[in-house]
Amino acid sequence: MKIKGILLPKTETTREHQSTGKVMTLHPNTRWCSDGFEIKCFNGEKVYIAFVLDTCDREAISFVARTRPLLSEDIQEIMLNAVESRFPSGRADRQIEFLSDRGAIYRAYNVQFEILFHSSLQS
């Protein structure tokens, strides 16, 4: 396609956030990261999994597994479960940086609203 000149032109992607390039931290509950993946089973079905890790000790704080594609509600669930499992009061005692690939299920309005709303209810 390149030789024939029929490749589509590449588009430049712009980032609106500052990347530090650092993921690991020295103290727990400072920075968490999350991602999701799917496993294709021998019978053709798929299992969809998402998780939250602490970047200090790489402990899996929370996860969810479904037989259907994950929704923003599933991401809400793992975020809230992560906070509740690490902080018995249900409220973080410090600001936690949450890293993700910024996929659609992480950027959904109801995920961001639910986390903020849940935090304000705990205060």
State the average pLDDT over residues 54-62.
91
For 107-120, write each residue's pLDDT tens digit: 776 665 444 444 44
For 26-56, write each residue's pLDDT tens digit: 888 888 889 999 999 999 999 999 999 998 8
Q: Where along the chain do its domains lie?
A: 31-122
**Residues ≥6 apart with Cβ < 8 Å to 27:** 56
The strand order across the sheet containing 31-40 reads 60-66, 46-54, 31-40, 97-99
Structure tokens at 59: 């402990």
